[in-house]
Amino acid sequence: MEFSSRTHNLKPEGAYHMLALAGQLEAQGREIIHLEIGQPDFPTFEHIVEAGVRAIQDGYTRYTPAAGMPLLRQTIAQDASKRYNLEITPEQVVVGPGAKPALFFPTLALVNPGEAVIYPDPGFPTYPAMIEVAGGVAAPLPLLEEHRFWVEAIALEEQVRALERSGHKVRMLILNSPSNPTGSVIPKDVLQDIAQLATDYDFWVLSDEIYSRLTYETSAPSIVTLPGMQSRTIICDGFSKTYAMTGWRLGFGIMPPNLAEKVELLLTHAVGCTASFTQVAGVEALRGAQDQVHRCVEEYRRRRDRLIAGLNAIPGVRCLSPEGAFYAFPNIASFGRSSEWMAQYLLETCGVALLPGTAFGAHGEGYLRLCFANSMENLEKAVERIDQALRKLSAA
């Protein structure tokens, strides 16, 4: 069958592939520890569930405006104004079914065929997919462990120049801090250098901040707060990770009002609107008490500390401590096998499902990604099993 060229390079997300492989083993009776999928293991908080159920009973079952219910847009704008210490109006907020629409639709609205978009590698696999669907040139920016997986301004400027020399205007840069898959948080001084480049070379910044409330040592600064950046920044954020609401499908983007209008048109024609009762639950999530979010972060921190210490105690494994999100990204290059091979080996020999670093781009080679939004008991068992399997591999 013939398909359009814009779909030629689309691939499934690595996590779904691994989930399917793990499922096959489970069907044969194997017990698998699932560290491959990136979602909280906690249920959605009770007061949010109650608000959603009540909303259905109260008749919030009809279409809403495409950009979201006015009350939710207003609530998000108020919350963001406080968080960023900026004046953000409801007209700048666009609500969508999940955070992904706040990545995909601004990209479609801004990027012309042939224009370049620079994105982090390793990084979330939706980035190159959406750039290619928009007809843009997907330009991976390598993030290196020796630079704590931060975007390096010098390397970024070189890449911008090289792309422009080869005739590709750089239209947008994607940032993701805290990062999936590395958990790294970009510090403010690095963001300042990046903001300067965005101004000098006149490009947009799409800042994916979906993990910004899940940080451990420091909070994650946002590039939108830097002088002159509000008019060229799109923030992608949502409820999935912070409020354990992955299946509710609720996210939002914050952007200049004229871009928000275009994104609203794309939403109108692509999805119509976001589920109305889900939006009511979103208002409760932001306006209600935040103590459960803080408790989850504390629990993730305990699990992170145990997991990272366990991984670093395995001969041949080296792992930075993530400052945000809930992923460990250990370096396993010393075993001399590909990440893909290692992930498959660990699944088959010890029943631990995790992802190869290459599920996040070519520069993920030599790494694995483990999600620690899982019980302490499972994490300890997983480390023990990985330890044994890797010792066996080294001895072979």
Residues that bind ligand PLP (CB under 6 A): 38, 98-100, 124, 176, 180, 208, 210, 238, 240, 246, 251
State in angstroms the smallest separation of the CB of 224 from ligand PLP: 16
State in angstroms the smallest separation of the CB of 389 from ligand PLP: 27
Residues 6+ apart with CB under 8 A from 296: 40, 42, 214, 244
State in angstroms the smallest separation of the CB of 92 from ligand PLP: 19
Q: Residue 113, preceding bond cis, omega within 30 degrees? A: no
DSSP strand pairing (204-208 vs 170-176) = parallel
With respect to ligand PLP, which residue has the nearer C-beta, 77 or 210? Answer: 210
- The CA distance from 159 to 284, in Å, is 43
With respect to ligand PLP, which residue has the nearer C-beta, 151 or 390? Answer: 151
What is the DSSP secondary structure assignment for residue 223, as one 8-state letter? G
With respect to ligand PLP, which residue has the nearer C-beta, 208 or 323? Answer: 208
Residues 6+ apart with CB under 8 A from 228: 195, 199
With respect to ligand PLP, which residue has the nearer C-beta, 347 or 371? Answer: 371
With respect to ligand PLP, which residue has the nearer C-beta, 282 or 366? Answer: 282
State in angstroms the smallest separation of the CB of 80 from ligand PLP: 16
**CB atoms < 10 A from the CB of 375, how many?**
13
State in angstroms the smallest separation of the CB of 176 from ligand PLP: 5
CA-to-CA dists, residue 93 to 77, 212, 318, angstroms: 7, 17, 41
Q: Length of the chain, please?
A: 396
State in angstroms the smallest separation of the CB of 248 from ligand PLP: 9
Residues 315, 287: contact at Cβ < 8 Å?
no
State in angstroms the smallest separation of the CB of 15 from ligand PLP: 8
What is the DSSP secondary structure assignment for residue 152, as one 8-state letter? P
With respect to ligand PLP, which residue has the nearer C-beta, 52 or 251? Answer: 251
Residue nearest to ligand PLP (CB): 98
Strands (E) across 241-389 are located at 251-254, 327-328, 352-353, 355-356, 368-371
What is the DSSP secondary structure assignment for residue 337, as one 8-state letter? S
Closest CA to 124 of 180, 175, 208, 178: 180
Q: Report the phi/psi class of residue 180: left, alpha or beta, with left for phi > 0 and alpha for psi in -120 to 50.
A: beta
With respect to ligand PLP, which residue has the nearer C-beta, 69 or 235? Answer: 235
- 55-61 long-range contacts, CB within 8 A, separation 24+: 55/276, 55/277, 55/280, 55/281, 56/277, 60/276, 60/277, 60/279, 60/280, 61/276, 61/277
Q: Residue 43, preceding bond cis, omega within 30 degrees? A: no
With respect to ligand PLP, which residue has the nearer C-beta, 38 or 322? Answer: 38
State in angstroms the smallest separation of the CB of 49 from ligand PLP: 17
State in angstroms the smallest separation of the CB of 274 from ligand PLP: 11
With respect to ligand PLP, which residue has the nearer C-beta, 134 or 210? Answer: 210
State in angstroms the smallest separation of the CB of 238 from ligand PLP: 4
Residues 6+ apart with CB under 8 A from 38: 15, 180, 241, 326, 327, 371, 373
With respect to ligand PLP, which residue has the nearer C-beta, 276 or 314? Answer: 276
Residues 379, 307: contact at Cβ < 8 Å?
yes
DSSP strand pairing (355-356 vs 368-371) = antiparallel
